Amino acid sequence: MEFKDYFKNKKVTVMRIGLLGRGIGDTAYLAEAGAEVHVVDDAAKEAMQPAVDALADYNNVKFTFGPYQTEHFTDCDYLLVGAGAPIDSPEIQAAREAGVSVKQSAAWFAELAKIPIIGVTGTRGKSTVTHMIHHTLAQVTGEKILLGGNIRGVSNLQLLKEVKEDSLCVMELDSWQLQGFGWSQISPQIAVFTNFMEDHLNYYQSGGKTKEEAMQQYFADKANIFAHQEESGVLITTPAVFDRAKQLSGVSLGQEVRLADASVIPDDSLLAMPGEHNRLNAALAYEALKAISLTDEEIWPALASFGGVEGRLQYLGAKETVAVYNDNNATTPQATVAGLEAVGGENDVVLIVGGTDKQIELGALPDTIAQRCSHVVLYSGTGTEALKAALPESVTNEEHATLAECVTAAFATAAPGNVILFSPGFSSFGKEYKNEYDRNDQFVRLAQQLIGE
């Protein structure tokens, strides 16, 4: 299917291109299609030089770095907004007032491709459920199943090159990407909403919003995954999320709704990923796969062969009898609690935890650490300070400023039969990484070096 004529000779401003590869790939696609592309980013040019270098071959791409200029947002046909743009951005508002069509790449892909999409969101579990569904579909059908949304390095507009009339796409959708679905007034045909917890309050509480107002806005963005479904659509979620969804004003829940819980998992089924929360993830994936008419006989063997997702309780191997798990994507205290409960017994986990505060309450994390951990290695940061103050005196711990020091300390401390778990519980803004994937890669490299010694 050919989409490039849609973009030919159009003026497109790209806001916040980023360094993860998605924005760069989107920009390259637009340039290849003959659009006149203007990349604007309020970051310093030095920080964004890798993006400039990656697009150096396109003479129809220009860059402006530093403070935004309103005319760059109003003198164009389309504004493509990257993740994390301020929720009340005056530049985006100016573009709308000027009649510019404001887009986000995942939703733009969905608009143009017009193929069935299974979309997955939720505070936790969305990556695992997305990959469970994608893995099972690929195993059962033997066909190319598209995978997009919040996938590392994947440009959604580049995916347009792979679309065929009978294509099917599975998309992991975060709250920022779902803002774009709201702007376009569309939702995936099958929507999976895993759970809803506190997260991203540092983003949603901008402008002096209360915590409750921030949570309402966060849920409203997430709710775009089902808010614009037609009656033929299917929403798969949990009772808790559905109860909240029913309270949304202006949203009619006329689509089919399927509520999932771990009880649908047969007692004799085998799942490679540990933890009760992954049984619920599997149940959500199962309901989505049933919604596209796969049978139990097709689903369960394929789900059993799913080994997990990088950075989500990823088993890296063992140093003698010490198992090592990478839970890099656990960036809330609640996610770290789930990781501890999945891999740890009583006082046998050496936990590497800590980072930048996202204004999320610690909840059960201090007590769970006291129950599950033999030792805690704290990774310095504003969130770490709050956690350290809340830890019971019985918890032995040490603190280090770099990840390398933390990993070395964990391996030095772990006793036979222990589990080393890297589950930060916080983000790492302003620390030693280019992005969250860089943190993942650094931990994996460090851990594998020590495992192999």
pLDDT tens digit string along 200-242? 888 888 878 899 999 999 999 999 999 999 999 999 999 999 9
pLDDT, position 431: 63
Confidence band (pLDDT; 50, 70, 90) for 1? low
- Tell whether the model's pLDDT for residue 300 goes beyond 70: yes
User: Tokens 């129809």 label which residue?
Assistant: 60
Q: Domains in the chain, start-ordered, CATH in brackets?
A: 7-103 (3.40.50.720), 107-304 (3.40.1190.10), 314-452 (3.90.190.20)
Kindly report, residue by residue over 284-298, the tens digit of the pLDDT: 999 999 999 999 999
Residue in 17, 52, 49, 19 with CA at minimum distance from that of residue 152: 19
Mean pLDDT taken over the chain: 93
Residue 192 is given by DSSP the state E
Confidence band (pLDDT; 50, 70, 90) for 104? very high
Task: Yes or no: say if 72 and 44 are a contact pair by the CB < 8 Å rule.
Answer: no
**For residue 151, which phi and psi values (nearest 5 degrees)?**
-110, 135
Kindly report, residue by residue over 129-140, the tens digit of the pLDDT: 999 999 999 999
pLDDT, position 451: 95
pLDDT, position 195: 95
Q: Please compute the mean of the pLDDT values over residues 249-263 and round it to a whole number.
A: 92
Half-sphere exposure of 143 (CA within 13 A, CB side): 11
- Tell whether the model's pLDDT for residue 304 goes beyond 90: no
Residue 152 is given by DSSP the state T
Query: Among the listed ranges 15-29, 68-82, 257-271, 371-385, which one has the minimum average pLDDT value?
Result: 257-271
